[in-house]
Amino acid sequence: MASVPSAHVDSFTRDNLPPREQWPDLIFTLPELAYPDQLNCGEELLDATIAQRGGERRCLVSDAGSWSYEELRRRVDQVAHLLAGELGVVPGQRVLLRGANSAWMVASWLAVMKAGAVAVATMPLLRAAELRPIVERSRPALALCDVRLLDALRDAAPTLPLIPVGGESADDLVRRAAAMPDRFAAVRTAADDVCLIAFTSGTTGQPKGCMHLHRDVLAIADTFSRRVLQPRQDDLFVSGPPLAFTYGLGGTVVFPLRAGASSLLVERASPELLAEAMARHSATVLLTSPTAYRAMLKLDGTDLGSLRRCVSAGEPLSRSTWEAWRDATGLGIVDGIGSTEMLHIFISECDEGIRPGATGRVVPGYEARVVDDSLAPVGDGEVGRLAVRGPTGCRYLADPRQGDYVQGGWNLTGDAYVRDGDGYYWFMARADDMIISAGYNIAGPEVEDALLRHADVSEAAVIGVPDAERGSIVKSFVVLREGVLPSPQTAAALQEFVKSVIAPYKYPRAIEFRASLPRTATGKLQRYRLREGVAPGSAR
């Protein structure tokens, strides 16, 4: 068994953490959050789970076959040996990961953890222009890249050493790892060592690198997963987003391994292929986006009867989508709000506690409040800014925007919320998506939800645009369902429908029909791209 001398450490991540006074307050109010000072999350997720529950149980499942926990551990340790030995990776160095949700990507992620390095996972759909700033800012020592995705990474970082994964070449990760010893002693990392840099998905244009610690990775499993999802050892998790998205990392790796459950890996996770894979393998826990749930509702003949838990995050879940899914499957979707800065979900609710339309209540282990611009709490029923703190929090990689997200010890998520008297949090809009028109406050997502209730609407996005008379008006961008033609008559019908569903003053006074809406690689709507170059709308 080999490890790396602790004296050989790359200090880049520690040197680029924000000053301590700019960190959020961290709280550890649950007994399971009392982690030891020395902790390696890869060892805890894999070796500790095997020690507690056995290694012969299935762990990773795909159409290509299954790996048991022991098979995964053996391959993880071989990759860790390769990283720390032949490839010369030392603790603290960054290793860029590029690939879909596959068994070797999971093994690579865990190997980076056990080797004491820092994972920088990237979305498979990113192109060279999007990869370049990630490489420049995180400065990885090398990259483990799916052989099918090498070209864009070569274009983005011509000098970055690349190890292909899943190919036929002699230098392929799979071939090289097979020659390594299959026992590796995890590097003795500190609980507060950085192990992950997750880049935000770019809904506001410029992604930020969010640094998370070994204890953070376990904390999301010991709060949201343990207290809200309540997974079982016989669960088969499946996640629509890739593990480069922290929502997908939780659903694909952290939650199932912490619970001793298994994970279904779907590389091409379109709603149709995801649904088919779930039916083939009898998945029980699904984590995906509202967009994917809406798309799956349109599929005919797909058996989703094995599901017992459905989780939604990444963008607001409309009440209409929740109700349609419940009517079709009998299951209420577990909604949640999380962020890359916080690593995962911090407000949610499940089972009888769900109130359709509400995000939920604060996840045990976290605290939240709705505040005004001076950070003073506002009363129940009043709109304000969502502030949250807990065992995880925002630490940007050398980014002046740290002071925007963390203020007064609280993480300010950029969302406008209302809390009711029962402690439920109701999403109003992203703070910059609140529209003030003729003195009225209008939440864009509420108008979107109203439009989505119309049978002719497939997708909808709402923004405010300047108007000489009203200051701003509501403008909607609509994707019609197949077979419905855009026309002034269609726009007028949608406007009248919205007036019948919500207060008439909220209706979209301008409607633009689109073939598609701009989204990030994780499916989040990019409203800022709709705002770019938008001329004032003409009121009807």
pLDDT (0 to 100) of residue 349: 97
**For 336-344, what is the mean pLDDT?**
96
Selected residue with higher pLDDT from 8 and 307: 307
* pLDDT band (50, 70, 90) for residue 50: very high
Q: Which position has the token pair 């645009």?
A: 465
Please name the fold of domain 38-419: Rossmann fold (3.40.50)
Q: Is the pLDDT of residue 428 over 50?
A: yes
Is residue 235 within 8 A of residue 263, CB to CB? The reply is: no
**For 35-39, what is the mean pLDDT?**
97
pLDDT (0 to 100) of residue 36: 98
**Spatial separation of the C-alpha atoms in residues 76 and 80, rounded to whole Å:** 6
Q: Domain extents for the chain?
A: 38-419, 438-531
* Percent above pLDDT 70 for the chain: 95
pLDDT (0 to 100) of residue 71: 98
Q: pLDDT digits over 153-178, tens only?
A: 999 999 999 999 999 999 999 999 99
Sort strands 285-288 and 262-264 into parallel, antiparallel or unpaired: unpaired
Kindly state the DSSP code that residue 223 receives in the 8-state scheme: I
pLDDT (0 to 100) of residue 469: 72
* pLDDT band (50, 70, 90) for residue 127: confident
Q: Closest by alpha carbon to 96, among 181, 12, 157? A: 157
pLDDT (0 to 100) of residue 468: 74
**For 288-311, what is the mean pLDDT?**
90
* pLDDT band (50, 70, 90) for residue 354: very high
pLDDT (0 to 100) of residue 404: 94
**For 335-343, what is the mean pLDDT?**
96
Sign of torsion, CA 312 317 319 324?
Answer: negative
DSSP 424-457: -EEEEEEGGGEEEETTEEEEHHHHHHHHHTSTTE
* Percent above pLDDT 90 for the chain: 79
Q: pLDDT digits over 509-536, tens only?
A: 999 999 999 987 667 788 888 887 555 4
Q: Is the pLDDT of residue 426 over 90?
A: yes
**For 63-81, what is the mean pLDDT?**
97
Q: pLDDT digits over 450-470, tens only?
A: 999 999 999 999 998 888 777
Q: Is the pLDDT of residue 182 over 60?
A: yes
Sort strands 334-338 and 345-348 into parallel, antiparallel or unpaired: antiparallel
Q: Is the pLDDT of residue 307 over 90?
A: yes
One-letter amino acid at 268 equals R
Kindly state the DSSP code that residue 241 receives in the 8-state scheme: S
Q: pLDDT digits over 213-241, tens only?
A: 999 999 999 999 999 999 999 999 999 98
Which residues are CB-contacts of 329 (< 8 A; sequence separation ≥ 6)? 304, 307, 310
**Spatial separation of the C-alpha atoms in residues 349 and 359, rounded to whole Å:** 7
User: What CATH number is given for 438-531 in this structure?
Assistant: 3.30.300.30
Kindly state the DSSP code that residue 21 receives in the 8-state scheme: G
pLDDT (0 to 100) of residue 462: 92
Task: Report the chain's mean pLDDT, rounded to a whole number.
Answer: 92
pLDDT (0 to 100) of residue 537: 46
Q: Closest by alpha carbon to 350, among 224, 256, 241? A: 224
Sign of torsion, CA 220 321 316 252?
Answer: positive
pLDDT (0 to 100) of residue 432: 67
Q: Is the pLDDT of residue 2 over 60?
A: no
Output Rg (C-alpha) for the chain, integer angstroms. Answer: 23
